[in-house]
Amino acid sequence: MDPILNIAGLTMDFGGIRALDHLDLRVQQGEIVALIGPNGAGKTTFFNCLTGIYTPTSGDLLLTPPGQNTRRLNGLKPNKVTRQGLARTFQNIRLFPNMTVLENVMIGRHCRSRAKVLGAIFRNRKTVQEEKEIVALSLSILEKIGLADMHAEFAKNLPYGAQRRLEIARALATEPLILLLDEPAAGMNPQETLELDELITVIRDDGLSILLIEHDMKLVMSLSDHIFVMDYGKKIAEGNPEEIRNNPEVIKAYLGEDIDDA
Ligand SMILES: Nc1ncnc2c1ncn2[C@@H]1O[C@H](COP(=O)(O)OP(=O)(O)OP(=O)(O)O)[C@@H](O)[C@H]1O
Ligand SMILES: [Mg+2]
């Protein structure tokens, strides 16, 4: 079976800096795949290329939704990439702090709603119906994420870990095939990280594929079906958690950090 995501020879230059250097990476449907590597390795740049924020210098970004034809994502604008089924969270939280938890999730959903500007202004019956459906769907996602009780709170009033979960809820509201998480555990305490581990497992069990950038090795080793390791824009290793833990190249790249403790 074709992988749901197939990245081939992806290269991204910023002036003289080659941030991604012929990167190859695959995600199979339903897998949790981790992308790890030291600071500055190019992980976020990879997400930015994949989601249309940057146009890659060369290479292919290929998406094959189950049972459908392969499509090339190169050059699509971010909103088009979202419609193709990729949703992401950001390394730094990007919520609307003065909107409610529910509204933050509804914004994710609007990328798929059909009501156009005129409908929104005149609020015809179709628009009102659609809005009701968006509220219902957003509440059901908040239920799953464990934030339904807080739906009327301003986003800025949530504890840090809950804000990170809310970002995941907003991404889920776009009904993605693949969820891209950029360091979701950053800044979380051990309890919040444990809850995140459970949440990501639940999302995968719902049938999504997940691509996870993360520095927390314990989380990476516990969740991942497959791990890619990058350094200086290049893939230096790939394999299952056991293989990665024992790979000399990886140990060298992480010199000074305790990958063994995970
Ligand atoms: N817009 C840009 N212009 C110029 N250089 C950039 C740009 N974006 C990223 N880079 C460079 O590309 C390299 C990779 O950065 P990137 O943010 O992708 O690393 P990362 O693996 O996500 O690191 P971290 O773990 O610290 O988040 C760095 O050298 C960075 O300075
Ligand atoms: Mg990064």
DSSP string, 174-199: T--SEEEEESTTTT--HHHHHHHHHH
149 and 193 belong to one structural domain: no
Same domain, 44 and 104: no
Structure tokens belonging to residue 30: 């339903």
Average pLDDT over residues 184-198: 95
What is the Rg, in whole angstroms, of the alpha carbon atoms belonging to the chain? 19
2 CA distance to ligand 1 middle (Å): 30
CB neighbourhood size of 141 (10 A): 23
Q: How far apart are CA 126 and CA 244, in angstroms?
A: 52
Q: Is residue 230 pLDDT above 60, yes or no? A: yes
Asked if residue 146 and residue 119 are part of one domain, the reply reads yes
The whole domain housing 121 covers: 95-160
Residue 19 near ligand 1, beta carbon < 6 Å: yes
Number of the ligand 1 atom closest to the C-alpha atom of 230: 21
How many residues does the structure list for the chain? 262
Is the CB of 233 inside a 6 Å radius of any atom of ligand 1? no
Please indicate, yes or no, whether residues 22 and 54 belong to a single structural domain of this protein: yes
pLDDT surpasses 80 at 117:
no
> Does 181 share its domain with 208?
yes
* Domain membership flag for residue 170: no
Cβ 128 under 6 angstroms from ligand 1: no
Q: Determine if ligand 1 sits within 6 Å of the CB of residue 41.
A: yes
Do 146 and 199 sit in the same domain of this protein? no
In angstroms, the CA 23 to CA 21 distance is 6
Provide the CATH number for the domain around residue 206: 3.40.50.300
Percent of the chain beyond pLDDT 90?
A: 82
Same domain assignment for residues 13 and 133 = no
Q: Distances from the Cα of 5 to the Cαs of 49, 76, 89, 120, 205, in angstroms? A: 13, 15, 18, 35, 18
Q: Which of 35, 43, 88, 235 to mutate to test the pocket of ligand 1 (most atoms within 8 A of CB)?
A: 43
Asked if residue 119 belongs to a domain, the reply is yes
Task: For residue 40, give the ligand nearest its CA.
Answer: 1
What pTM did the predictor assign?
A: 0.92
Average pLDDT score, the chain: 92
Instruction: Please report whether residue 230 resides in a domain.
Output: yes
**Same-domain status, 25 and 155:** no
Question: Residue 195 C-alpha to ligand 1 middle, in angstroms?
Answer: 29
User: Is residue 60 classed as helix, strand or coil in its secondary structure?
Assistant: strand
The total domain count for the chain is: 2
Nearest ligand to the CA of 41 is 1
pLDDT confidence bin for 121, thresholds 50/70/90: low
Same domain assignment for residues 187 and 250: yes
The residue nearest atom 27 of ligand 1, judged by CA position, is: 39
